[in-house]
Amino acid sequence: MAATDFKDYYSILGVSKTSSGDEIKKSFRRLARKYHPDMNPGNKQAETRFKEVSEAYEVLSDPEKRQKYDQFGQYWKQAAQSSPYGSGVGVDVGGFDFSQYGSFDEFINELLGRFGNGATGNSRRGYTYRTKTTGSSGFSDFGGFSGYSSRASETATDREATITLSWSEAFNGVQKRLNLGNEVIDVRIPPGAKSGSRIRIRGKGQTSPYNQQRGDLYLNVALNSHSFFEFDGENLVCEVGVTPDEAVLGASIEVPTPDGTVSVNIPAGIRYGQSLRLRGKGWPRPKGGRSDQLVKIVIAIPKDITKIEREYYEKLRDNGSFNPRSHLGQIRL
């Protein structure tokens, strides 16, 4: 890879090299939602950014890959591969300056010359010395499967892709049929998947040219946007409007949850923006149970009112004792 092809994954995700795994995940979720193709139909630039963000997260979310990336920079993929002489011979490249080479191939060729073989791209002991990037194999999906890539490892080649789910599919779990080009497989997505979730399917990656073993397929989950629910960490958040009289006097209202509507008591005197917690009504957790659902209260003011409603509002205005601005008289610079 030429120096001009180098991708700064930290810059792509808008984080620093000292950022924690949680900070990286939080930034990825925000950007994945912003640039997801479903949120930007027909926008090729957003689609490209989405793929870059997914690629950056795939590397920086994996501690081993991140360490290689931090150490070797643009040559981290090549440096992560095993020695061409097999497991019995290791080459210590720690601290080596790769920038003097136009590509990792040049480094390998010079290294082989030191061992008495000056040929370029030839074979020895049955191994090919030239590095290889696995190309596209015609991945497709019968329902929201895109953006796959391949990466070589010591024993096999893994593949990954983004699979888009509806909220219902992610909440309840779903079985998806994927077309990998040369085979069709059924994949079971367990309940509780979220944007940023990563599902490993063993033995469904590319076949290694070295030992004919197959790598794994990794599915990065992306959820479509929802008109009512959002995530706040592991909890669900929704916004529900109440009328002024319900806020003052209290009320019992119906609130949607992922698995049905429940009755919620609104306490008298509730304030705008205050949240009520519905315990165990949120998203399925990987190890069982559910998170909470937070109901944010907003005061809904009617635009059109009847004549009698206006009369009563005027009576409240003329006879009310509450002044929400009474403390403003004490404000001074």
Residue 116 domain-assigned (yes or no): no
Residues 142, 221 within the same domain: yes
CATH number, domain of 287, equals: 2.60.260.20
Structure tokens at 146: 């895109």
What pLDDT, on a 0 to 100 scale, did the predictor assign at position 282?
96
Residue 51 domain-assigned (yes or no): no
Residues 236, 306 within the same domain: yes
| CB atoms closer than 10 angstroms to residue 312 | 12
Residue 141 domain-assigned (yes or no): yes
What pLDDT, on a 0 to 100 scale, did the predictor assign at position 145?
52
What pLDDT, on a 0 to 100 scale, did the predictor assign at position 120?
39
Residue 17 domain-assigned (yes or no): no
CA distance 160 to 198: 9
Domain end (from 210, 225, 240): 225
Structural domain range at position 260: 230-319
Alpha helices (runs of H) in 8-155, residue ranges in sequence order: 9-13, 21-35, 44-60, 63-72, 76-80, 104-114
Domain end (from 225, 247, 273): 225
What pLDDT, on a 0 to 100 scale, did the predictor assign at position 127?
28
Structure tokens at 182: 């040369």
Residues 215, 295 within the same domain: no
Residues 234, 164 within the same domain: no
Distances (CA, A) of 225 to 7, 94, 260, 265: 28, 44, 19, 28
Kindly give the pairing relationship between strand 217-223 and strand 260-266. Answer: unpaired
Residue 46 domain-assigned (yes or no): no
At 296, give phi and psi (nearest 5°).
-85, 125
Domain end (from 191, 225, 259): 225
Residue 90 domain-assigned (yes or no): no
| CB atoms closer than 10 angstroms to residue 320 | 8
Q: Which residue has the tokens 């497989």?
A: 185
Structure tokens at 247: 């806020």
For the chain, what's the residue count? Answer: 333
Residue 210 domain-assigned (yes or no): yes
Residues 188, 158 within the same domain: yes
Alpha helices (runs of H) in the chain, residue ranges in sequence order: 9-13, 21-35, 44-60, 63-72, 76-80, 104-114, 167-172, 244-249, 307-319
Residues 218, 277 within the same domain: no
Closest CA to 216 of 229, 227, 233, 204: 204
Residues 159, 186 within the same domain: yes
Tally the C-alpha atoms within 13 A of residue 235's C-alpha that lie toward its C-beta: 14
CA distance 296 to 59: 36
What pLDDT, on a 0 to 100 scale, did the predictor assign at position 295?
97
Residues 188, 210 within the same domain: yes
Contact between residue 124 and residue 113 where contact means Cβ atoms under 8 Å apart: no
Residues 241, 313 within the same domain: yes
| CB atoms closer than 10 angstroms to residue 106 | 13
Residues 215, 143 within the same domain: yes
Tell me how many domains the chain contains.
2
- State the burial class of residue 162 (Cβ atoms within 10 Å of its Cβ: 0-12, 13-18, 19+): buried
Q: Which residue has the tokens 């009512």?
A: 228
Residues 190, 270 within the same domain: no
Residue 69 domain-assigned (yes or no): no
**Rounded mean pLDDT for each run of 10 residues along the chain, 333 residues in total:** 66 88 88 83 86 88 85 69 40 47 52 43 32 32 48 63 93 92 89 92 84 87 93 95 95 96 96 95 93 96 92 92 89 93
For residue 257, what is the DSSP state? E
